[in-house]
Amino acid sequence: MRLRNSLTGKKEVFTARGNHVSMYVCGVTPYDITHLGHAFTYTHFDVLVRYLRYRGYGVTYVQNLTDIDDDILRKAKELGQDWRALGEKNGDRFLRDMKWLGNLQPDLYPRATDVMPDIINLTKDLLEKGWAYENNGSVYFKVYSYKDFGRLSKLPEDQWLIIANERGNHPKDPNKRNPIDFVLWQAAKEGEPSWPSPWGLGRPGWHVECSVMCMKFLGRTVDIKGGGRDLIFPHHECSLAQCECVTGQTLARYWIHTGMVRYRGEKMSKSLGNMVFVKDLKGLGTNATRLCLLNHHYGRTWEFDEAVKKKASEQAEFFQEVWRRQSGDGNRLTIEPYEQSFHDAMADDLDIPAALSSLQHLASDILSDSSRDVSDAKGLLNRACSILGLEMRYGGWK
């Protein structure tokens, strides 16, 4: 099996340490409900977990909930709601949406507020080792002290500040020595939640939260770390830097990132008003919605439109027709070539669109001759659909 590693930019043969795989995927900040970009990312990582387990690996899958962050505090203030109640409500909605999509629940689902002592300890370690500094109760990572900063994103240095500012950085913070330095611990502000620390009351920065949850539950080196492509910089770049500075070990052996979802010609954005939410697609049914996502390679950006919905609905109806087809007692339909092509596609950087194409060819052959024995073929179709998280049953698809 080969996976494209964002760190090297190449497809690499996947090897596990023993027979177990540890995987950490950055979860949502629950200041709003689940959109199609979330669904695309977490459905593909769900299939990766399923396929690794099918291949005989034990997998520990951790996905976090960033329940304290600038975004959720801003949204709570805007709505006049308690930040924790808002996070609980949207976090529960997200989990229900993932269940409706057919995604397996992660083995562990920690929240940032669960690991506050660990966040403080990592921040202390970075200070003691000289990678960070404290000023007026806030602690910052010294980006330019880490000579390998930028090796994950491969962005030129003159782009760091521009992109970081678009994604939550505060360059005019008077406590910073350099605008690109990122916050590990920020001093308490009036009206915001805070926790005690050696530097006074405050709350953690975004990047340190995920770093701590990843290492606490999976160890200093994780096999697979991932999320949406927009997390590569600054979030994952900063996570890599602070963890490896403290531990001296590789944070992740494989970095996997999903592409962006576009709608009406632009990347989905609240400011543009072109968001599509999972709740908007429930009329399609689970399997058709899942096929909307799986018809696109996880690493590529794609456009959601009516044609995507139409194709997925037709696929769902077609597979349902095949599943209801009764087997004849004639010659057995040979399945080995279809099985090989399905697994070849899945092993080639999780090429699910190609895997689905092989299943469609199999399905067409099942329907082509009513006299053939297609019991083995339907068995293969059922196994393959299970790997993809598509549920087949006599009473119709979900």
Domains of the chain in sequence order = 2-258 (3.40.50.620), 284-387 (1.20.120.640)
- The C-alpha atoms of residue 122 and residue 222 are separated, in whole angstroms, by 17
The reported pLDDT for the residue numbered 328 is 86
Question: What is the model's pLDDT at position 362?
Answer: 96
Closest CA to 11 of 260, 258, 255: 255
Residue with tokens 């924790």: 84
- Residue with the two structure tokens 């990766």: 48
Q: Enumerate residues 6+ apart whose C-beta is below 8 A from 278.
A: 33, 34, 35, 36, 38, 39, 97, 100, 101, 289
- Confidence at residue 272, expressed as pLDDT on a 0 to 100 scale: 75
pLDDT of residue 393: 61
Q: What is the DSSP string of 199-243?
A: T-SEEE-HHHHHHHHHHHHH-SSEEEEEEEGGGIIIIIHHHHHHH
* Stretches in the chain below the pLDDT threshold 50: 394-398
Distances (CA, A) of 86 to 83, 209, 288: 5, 19, 30
Sign of CA dihedral 303, 275, 63, 180: positive
Is 212 in contact with 119 (CB distance < 8 Å)? yes
CA distance linking residue 374 with residue 395, whole number of Å: 19
Task: Give the pTM.
Answer: 0.96
* C-alpha–C-alpha distance, residues 184 and 55, integer Å: 39
| pLDDT recorded at residue 193 | 97
- Residue 196, token pair as written in the block: 């005690």
158 is written with which tokens?
A: 């003159």
Query: Residue 50: which residues within 8 A CB-CB, separation 6 or more?
Result: 104, 386, 387, 388, 389
What's the confidence (pLDDT) of residue 163? Answer: 97
How does pLDDT run across 94-109, given as a tens digit for each residue? 999 999 999 999 999 9
